[in-house]
Structure 1
Amino acid sequence: MTRALTQDDLLDVVEREGTRAAAAAEGADHDRPVPGCPGLTVGETARHLGSVYRMVVTWLRTGERPTSWSRQPRDGEPVEDYLRDGLRALLGELAAHPPDTPCASWHPYDRTYGFWRRRMAHESTVHRTDIEAALGRDLTPIAEEVALDGVDEVMHLWFTHRLAERGVVGTRHATVAVRSAHRAWLATMDPTGTVSADAAETAPADAVITGDPTEMYLWLWGRRAVYDRSVRQSGDFDAIAQFWALLRLATK
């Protein structure tokens, strides 16, 4: 059975994946488009990641959602250096506080430094894969425990809390089971809201999606097409289409 990630593991993932993203962007064609993400390029992805790191540091230090922070490299500053400098600041801030230390966040039930360790681990991982995919490289493998934790984050944080925060609901009642490795989740959507819960692998649902952890992780984040064969789908395909559309609104 895959072990659960610790808070130290998550901090290591932030450092490892942020460093890989910068290294991949260095010396590359920054105008190369990211597959499946219209408007996103290698350079814009690196800039975005460096900007997000700075935004989180500002949020943590001020206790309030920031309205302004450094969003662009200085004149003449390579974007990968901008990314690395933001990463160093973020790692320093996260490492300086135990993960259970209270802080501001956008999660209604997790306002701790641990929330940001996990969130930035997956922000870094997804965008590292974006840069590698844009450059036509084989993706550096994502550890199974990281991918499974990322699937869990999408299901519980984005599909449930992010959609509720934005007031987005389903158009009709449907359930979709998501199964990967030894874990399973059940997504429920209807005109009153969306919710996801851990489930038994045999839990009944209108539709079922299965796949290995990495492919499921990338599919949930929209880095694979809705009916991509990297994940197996069965049952009510309209339910899957609704689930997919809601995820795109949650994670954009």
Structure 2
Amino acid sequence: MSGKALFDQARLLDVLEIEATVLAETVDGAREDLRIPNCPGLTVGETARHVGSVYRMALEWMRTGDAPETWQRQPGPFQSSRDYVISGVRELVDELARHDPAEPCSTWWAADSTYGFWRRRMAHETVVHRMDVQAALDRPVGEIADDLAVDGVDEVLTLWFGHRLTVQGVVGARDGTVAVRTGGRAWLVRVTTGGVGAWRVPGSDIDRADIGRIDAEVTGPPANVYRYLWGRLGERAVTREGDFDAINQMWALMRLATR
């Protein structure tokens, strides 16, 4: 299965820069000990520092061609969380802009070893945490374009659920297949006692062989499904049909994949 993004790569770079700026401005002057909803133990300050650190980790990985062991993980002396995020994203965007998205680059996913992987991963990392800090500060959570949310659904299912859990050797307690549909797209999420997998279905049509194996479906508006899969919205934000145990197992494993 291809790991390539469903969203335009040029726009992903714009999303990364804009979302990082919104996140940085939101945390500027905010109480850093405010808790992030639906993320036990995570605070506004920790979120900003995490995002700034991830930017620097990704930049070092791209430059060295391997997973880095050291990078700036915290703001420097007299550097605010806002400035830590902004300075990190500016350097990251500059580096990504120097390379064609299709150019080969070391990543942590064999399905997409290109600079485009990092554009996509850093964009969605930022979108999710931008929503987190807005929610923590009880501010309106900014909208997410449908096509960006659809790409985010694809990424969280195929990269985080399908790939990360497989690498970790995670298996299910029972067999079950859940179809996820949104924005004219569909995915199949398969959990068995021998392993897990998730893959994109061409278009939105699930073939007859797979239809017979589906135990449940999750549907809804793209932004809702995106946030639901990342654990930022509860089950009422989407429509769930069929075997709820299969959906609940998927949900529990999603929390393990994205923690």
**Fold match, TM over 0.5?**
yes
Matches within 5 A, 1:27-66: 27-66=29-68
Distance 1:198 1:47 in 2: 33
Aligned amino acid, residue 218 of structure 2:
I
Q: Mean alpha-carbon deviation: is it higher for 228-237 or for 51-60?
A: 228-237
Q: Does structure 1 conserve the Cα–Cα contact (< 8 Å) formed by 2:147 and 2:183?
A: no
Could you tell me how far 1:5 is from its partner in structure 2?
2.0
Q: Equivalent of 1:229, from 225, 231, 236?
A: 236
2:186 match: secondary structure = strand
1:80 maps to 82
Distance 2:66 2:253 in 1: 28
Q: Any idea what the Cα deviations from partners look like across 1:37-85, whole Å, max 9, x if unmatched?
A: 0111111111100000000001111111011110001122111100101
Matches within 5 A, 1:125-136: 125-136=127-138
Could you tell me how far 1:201 is from its partner in structure 2?
4.9
1:86 match: secondary structure = helix
Q: Does structure 2 conserve the Cα–Cα contact (< 8 Å) formed by 1:169 and 1:189?
A: yes
Q: Any idea what the Cα deviations from partners look like across 1:113-170, whole Å, max 9, x if unmatched?
A: 0110011110010000000000011111001111010001111111111111111121
Q: Any idea what the Cα deviations from partners look like across 1:89-119, whole Å, max 9, x if unmatched?
A: 1101111111111111100221110110011
Please provide the CA RMSD for this pair: 1.2
2:237 match: secondary structure = coil
Distance 2:141 2:87 in 1: 24
Identity of matched residues, %: 53
Q: Equivalent of 1:112, from 107, 111, 114?
A: 114
Could you tell me how far 1:198 is from its partner in structure 2?
2.6
Deviant stretches of 4+, over 3 Å: 199-204
Check if 1:181 corresponds to 2:188: no
Aligned amino acid, residue 160 of structure 2:
W
Matches within 5 A, 1:137-216: 137-199=139-201, 200-201=204-205, 203-204=211-212, 205-216=214-225
Aligned amino acid, residue 231 of structure 2:
G
Distance 1:181 1:109 in 2: 23
Q: Does structure 2 conserve the Cα–Cα contact (< 8 Å) formed by 1:179 and 1:201?
A: no
2:3 maps to none
Distance 1:118 1:201 in 2: 25
Aligned amino acid, residue 229 of structure 1:
R
Aligned amino acid, residue 240 of structure 2:
Q
Could you tell me how far 1:219 is from its partner in structure 2?
0.5
Q: Mean alpha-carbon deviation: is it higher for 49-58 or for 38-47?
A: 38-47
Could you tell me how far 1:177 is from its partner in structure 2?
0.9
Could you tell me how far 1:248 is from its partner in structure 2?
1.0
2:69 maps to 67
**Where do 5+ consecutive residues of structure 1 fail to align?**
none
Q: Mean alpha-carbon deviation: is it higher for 50-59 or for 184-193?
A: 184-193
TM-score by length of 2: 0.92
Aligned amino acid, residue 227 of structure 2:
L
Q: Mean alpha-carbon deviation: is it higher for 119-128 or for 23-32?
A: 23-32
Q: Any idea what the Cα deviations from partners look like across 1:168-223, whole Å, max 9, x if unmatched?
A: 12121100011112111111110221112233456452111111101100000011
Aligned amino acid, residue 66 of structure 1:
P
1:100 match: secondary structure = coil
1:109 match: secondary structure = coil
Aligned amino acid, residue 219 of structure 2:
T
Aligned amino acid, residue 122 of structure 1:
H
2:236 match: secondary structure = coil
